[in-house]
Each structure stands twice: as C-alpha cells, then as structure tokens.
C-alpha cells in the first residue's frame, strides 16, 4: 500500500500516512500531505492502481471507479503537469490491458506495475537531471559555489534525489564545495520547513533567508547559479513554479547569473503554447492571513494567493531535463528532446 510521509508536519515530526485508495490519494494531494509536481503525479498513479484493485470484481464496475477517480485526481492541483501525465499514462495502460482481454486481477497487477514504473523512471530522471545540471555550474576559482533555489524541488517533491536539489546533490557528489541559499517560500514555507531540513539531513550547507532578501543576497553576498524546479513548462519555455520564482529570475538576469529550471520531461506540456495557457492554482486566504493558526492580518482584508508564478522563457538560461539540456529557442529545443 502507498504510504506517504506527511510533509505538513516536517521538520518537527516524521509521520507516515497510509493511502489505501484514490480518494485518500486525492485528499493527501489536496491537503499537501504530499506536494511537489512529480511526487503528486506518482501519488495519483498509485491511487489509481489501488482504486482498480479494490473495486468490485466485475471489470466494468472497476473501470467506472477508475474513471471517476481519474477525474477527481486530475483536478486536485491544476498547475502540475505531472498529475495529468500520470493519469493519462495509467489510462493508456488500462486501455491496453483491456484490449488484450486481461482479467480484472491481471489489470490490477498491470496498473500497479505501471505506477511502479512511473516512480522508478522519475528517480532515474532526477539522477540524469543532476548530472546534466551540475555541468552547468560556473567555475568558482577554488571557493565554495553559492547556489540559490526556491521552494522545495528535492527528494521530498519527487521519487527521490530531486530536480533542483538533484543538481545540488550532483555538484556536492562531484567533490565541489557548495552552499545553498533557501528562501523560506511564503506562505507555505517549503523552503524553511523542507529544503532546509532535506539539505541538512544530507550535510549540505544551507542558509535560510526570507523571500524579500533575494535581491540583497545577490548584491551583498553574490551567487553563482540559481536552480529551481517547475510544475509545468510550456512549449515556448515559459515555466510555472512556486510563487516567488519569477522575481528571483528577474534579479538573476540583472546580475547576469545563470538561471536554470530543472524538471523531468513529464513536467513539459507541449500542448500549452506559452505560460498564458498554464492554469495557476489559487489557494485559501488563510495561508496568508494566519500564521500557524494565529491571525496576522485584520479581518476583512482582501487577499490574492496564487500558489505559482510563470517565469518567462527569456529569463531562463537553460531547461535541464532528463532527456538533455534545452537552450533558447525553446520552441525548437524542447520539441527536439521530446519522446516521439
Ligand atoms: O505547492 P508545492 O509545494 O507543490 O509547489 C512545489 C513547487 O513549486 C516545486 O518547485 C515544483 O513542484 C517542482 S518539484 C520537483
């Protein structure tokens, strides 16, 4: 059975939650027990496999349950391309098995195998992304390399190793000294709670800052590289990622520091021509008006809480995928990396 580490409780407590069916998977994604685009895609895949396996023995009823669950999972977090990728892959596998006349038990084990494959492929993809991305870190003349990230695009957000933090890990594994700067990532604090914890666990030096300190960090301390993850990358290279990413990209451009987006190809959505076609999730006002459950803003204040922003392709030095490194013009390079 799928078991998820409850990321809402980190870094204070390590609590695992059982996820026996698609409804539990959808609830875990919506409530942020699990978050990060690849991790929620993988969760959706295992949720669908579990849903088919526990449905009534009749194949038709199980297919109906599967389709209802697919719809629910698809709508959980609209920005992440990986959820749609996982749902579409699971549906294609289901259709293939049904066309072959597989029994309900054979379909159930085929779907489980597909979810396992999505998990294993993501893990392998992250190691390839790490290797490609590490090669793009500029020389630092014998001193520690200083890398800025945003949110958490690490092992917690993926099958393991991470995308942006996979690049950091690959740099550290190559023997280069590295120091990471992690903005806290308002309002949900993925940087403070998750990235800082994950890197400290790996003994990679990390310094926590507030989101508003990024400009000063470039000006006062200096940076060698920015690397972030993505929830969805459009065909023209525009990339949606955690709110706050766009301003880091603008500042990196002003300081002429390379800005990398690291993501598996399952995050690339060639059906979205540009960032304007990417749906941006808006979350509850309480994430901003309250802090740890206590009010920090006056009752009745208006709130805008988009969970993601879109960094225009012109600010992105390179998009590091598991299939290789794409550089501008992304319309051509992303398509040329795409599986047929
Ligand atoms: O709201 P979250 O925590 O799911 O947002 C996550 C991010 O923005 C990550 O950077 C992105 O999903 C890539 S994770 C490898």
pLDDT by residue for the chain (340 residues), tens only, comes to 899 999 999 999 999 999 999 999 999 999 999 999 999 999 999 999 999 998 766 667 888 889 999 999 999 999 999 999 999 999 999 999 999 999 999 999 999 999 999 999 999 999 999 999 999 999 999 899 999 999 999 999 999 999 999 999 999 999 999 999 999 999 999 999 999 999 999 999 999 999 999 999 999 999 999 999 999 999 999 999 999 999 999 999 999 999 999 999 999 999 999 999 999 999 999 999 999 899 999 999 999 999 999 999 999 999 999 999 999 999 999 999 998 7
What local confidence, expressed as pLDDT, does residue 211 receive? Answer: 98
For ligand 1, is residue 41 a contact (CB within 6 Å)? no
Is 46 within 8 Å of 29 (Cβ atoms)? Answer: no
Quickly list H helices, the chain.
22-30, 37-54, 59-74, 81-99, 104-134, 164-173, 190, 196-201, 214-216, 245-254, 286-289, 330-337
Contacts of 29 (CB under 8 A, 6+ apart): 35, 40, 43, 44, 73, 76, 77, 83
Question: Which among 21, 231, 238, 269 is annotated as catalytic?
Answer: 231
Separation CA 78–CA 287 (nearest Å): 18
What local confidence, expressed as pLDDT, does residue 58 receive? Answer: 67
What local confidence, expressed as pLDDT, does residue 340 receive? Answer: 72
User: Which residue, 193, 154, 305, is CA-closest to 243?
Assistant: 305
Is 114 within 8 Å of 89 (Cβ atoms)? Answer: yes
Ligand 1 centroid from CA 138, angstroms: 25
Ligand 1 centroid from CA 76, angstroms: 14
What is the Cβ-side half-sphere exposure of residue 114, based on CA atoms within 13 angstroms? 27
**DSSP secondary structure, 123-181, as one string:** HHHHHHHHHHHHTTSPP-TTSPEEEE--S--SGGGSSSS-SHHHHHHHHHHTT--EEEE
Separation CA 191–CA 183 (nearest Å): 6
Atom 10 (ligand 1) nearest CA: 229
What local confidence, expressed as pLDDT, does residue 57 receive? Answer: 64
Best probe residue, ligand 1, of 194, 197, 231, 269 (max atoms within 8 Å of C-beta): 231
Ligand 1 centroid from CA 101, angstroms: 39
Separation CA 92–CA 77 (nearest Å): 21
Nearest-10 Cα torsion for 118, 120, 121, 122: 80
What local confidence, expressed as pLDDT, does residue 272 receive? Answer: 98
Ligand 1 centroid from CA 35, angstroms: 6
What local confidence, expressed as pLDDT, does residue 61 receive? Answer: 81
Placement of tokens 């006062």 in the chain: 220
**211: annotated active-site residue:** no
SS3 282: strand
Best probe residue, ligand 1, of 153, 166, 264, 320 (max atoms within 8 Å of C-beta): 153
Separation CA 91–CA 222 (nearest Å): 48
Burial pattern 179-208, b for ≥16 Cβ within 10 A else e, equals bbbbbbbbbbbbbbbbbbbbbeeeebebee
User: Which residue, 172, 2, 209, 17, is CA-closest to 86?
Assistant: 2
User: Which residue, 126, 79, 129, is CA-closest to 242?
Assistant: 79
Structure tokens at 198: 């994950």
What local confidence, expressed as pLDDT, does residue 55 receive? Answer: 76
């Amino acid at each position: 059975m799928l078991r998820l580490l409850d990321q809402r409780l980190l870094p204070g407590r390590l609590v695992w939650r059982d996820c026996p069916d698609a409804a539990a998977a959808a609830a875990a994604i919506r409530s942020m027990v699990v978050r990060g685009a690849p991790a929620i895609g993988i969760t959706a895949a295992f949720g669908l496999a579990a849903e088919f396996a526990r449905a009534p023995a009749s194949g038709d009823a199980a297919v109906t349950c599967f389709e209802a669950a697919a719809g629910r999972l698809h709508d959980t977090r609209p920005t992440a391309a990986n959820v749609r990728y996982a749902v579409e892959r699971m549906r294609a596998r289901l259709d293939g098995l049904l066309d072959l006349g597989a029994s309900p038990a054979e379909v159930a084990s085929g779907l489980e195998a597909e979810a396992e494959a999505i998990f294993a492929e993501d893990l392998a993809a992250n190691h390839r992304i790490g290797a490609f991305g590490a090669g793009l870190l500029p020389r630092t003349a014998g001193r520690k390399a200083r890398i800025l990230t945003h949110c958490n695009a690490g092992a917690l957000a993926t099958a393991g190793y991470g995308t942006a933090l996979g690049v950091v890990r690959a740099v550290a594994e190559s023997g280069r000294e590295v120091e990471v700067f992690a903005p806290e990532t308002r309002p949900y604090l993925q940087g403070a709670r998750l990235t800082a914890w994950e890197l400290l666990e790996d003994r990679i030096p990390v310094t926590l800052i507030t989101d508003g300190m990024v400009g000063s960090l470039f000006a006062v301390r200096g940076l060698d590289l920015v690397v972030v993850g993505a929830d969805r990358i459009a065909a023209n290279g525009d990339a949606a990622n955690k709110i706050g990413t766009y301003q880091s990209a603008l500042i990196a451009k002003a300081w002429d520091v390379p800005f990398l987006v690291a993501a598996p190809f399952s995050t690339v959505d060639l059906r979205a021509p540009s960032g304007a076609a990417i749906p941006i999730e808006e979350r509850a006002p309480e994430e901003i008006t309250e802090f740890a459950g206590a009010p920090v803003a006056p009752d009745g204040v208006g709130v805008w809480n988009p969970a993601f922003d879109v960094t225009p392709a012109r600010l992105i030095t390179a998009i590091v995928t598991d299939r290789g490194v794409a550089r501008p013009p992304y319309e051509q390079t992303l398509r040329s990396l795409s599986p047929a």
